[in-house]
Amino acid sequence: MIYLESFHMPGRQEEERYMDPQTNPIHRRTCYTTKYPFCIFPMRGLPDAWQFAPVTIFYGGNGSGKSTILNVIAEKLGVERGAVYNRSDFFEDYVQLCRAELARGKPIPKGSRIITSDDVFDYLLDIRSINQGIDQERAALFDKWLRDRYEPYQLQSLDDYEEFKRRSDAKTKSQSQFVRERLMRNVTERSNGESALLYFTDSIRENALYLLDEPENSLSAARQLELKDFLEQSARFFGCQFIIATHSPLLLSLDGAKIYDLDENPVEVRDWWNLETVRLYQQFFETHRALF
């Protein structure tokens, strides 16, 4: 499914007109040391417009601008977002110069969103905070089981019945049974990678556009392959469109993905097996072929 067909970012002439202090009074101010995201892309050889497929990938090394492009697109489309992102006082002006072409002229579906590494990181921190609370509650229940099991207690009236019932329960059950029945499901048994993968599978729904910024972070190779399969199925059968910033060789191999190589100038569309990162991995394993 395609919801966003193309996206135009300002070229050199458009940026120069914006930067001209004679026509744009904002540039008479001199207190700004950066006009981000202006001045980043005009010399990078970007296409006149990004053309999108059901799965489109922005590939490039650190500093290639792939995350900035995702944030610009997300801001222009007004999709949902969680974590804050890097921006300047000129960000909105830059976004206004961008143009988006939507498929069939229909609006971007509700529920469309951008998911960044910070979103996943914040989620993992929340899980850790919950886990710490669980650990504290578990320790308290251990103490309660010991006290209820071995300290004498006599029912004095019906008002004491619940206390008496709990103490009797402690005497008939093992410590683990007593604690397990009173404690919420222990999410500490799930690794960061499992939790991160669960975040994606819970956040991505049918029939929507998703912008994913380096989703491979916090995921092992095995989890990346699971995410790859999930994204392929979501695009193929459940009406999702994905625009992804990544340099993960595993995610670059997403079936049918259109890949923009931001390390090239001008930017080119390339097959995943011809990208530098993938070639480096191939050369490394070829060098050590005898070990396998």
Q: What is the domain-level CATH number for residue 84?
A: 3.40.50
Residues 14 and 98 in one domain: yes
The one-letter amino acid code at 95 reads: V
Residues 210 and 274 in one domain: yes
User: Are both 172 and 211 inside the same structural domain?
Assistant: no
How many folded domains does the chain comprise?
Answer: 2
Residues 129, 13, single domain; the answer is: no
Mean pLDDT score of the chain = 83
* pTM reported for the whole predicted model: 0.77
Q: How many whole angstroms separate alpha carbon 28 and alpha carbon 166?
A: 74
Predicted pLDDT of residue 188:
46
In-domain check, residue 287: yes
76 and 127 both lie in a single domain:
no
Q: Mark whether 110 and 249 lie in a shared domain.
A: yes
Q: Considering the domain boundaries, does residue 169 fall inside one?
A: yes
> 127 is in which domain, residue-wise?
120-189
Percent of the chain topping pLDDT 90: 53
Closest of 251, 206, 228 to residue 112, by C-alpha: 206
- Give the pLDDT of residue 26: 62
Mean pLDDT over residues 55-75, rounded?
94
Whether residues 44 and 86 fall in one domain: yes
Task: Find the angle CA(278)-CA(250)-CA(291) to the nearest 5 degrees.
Answer: 65
The answer to whether residue 13 is domain-embedded is yes
Residues 33 and 133 placed together within one structural domain of the fold: no
Same domain for 210 and 165: no
200 in a domain, yes or no?
Answer: no
Residues 172 and 155 reside in one and the same domain: yes
Most confident of 117-131, 166-180, 213-227: 213-227
pLDDT at 182: 57
Same domain, 210 and 105: yes
Q: Could you tell me if 96 and 61 lie in one domain? A: yes
For residue 196, being part of any structural domain is answered with no
Final residue before a domain boundary, out of 138, 155, 189: 189
> pLDDT digits over 96-107, tens only?
999 999 998 889
206, 238 contact by CB (below 8 A)? yes
For the four alpha carbons of 73, 77, 79 and 85, in that order, the dihedral sign comes to positive
Percent share of the chain, pLDDT over 70: 73
Q: Which residue has the tokens 């459940």?
A: 238
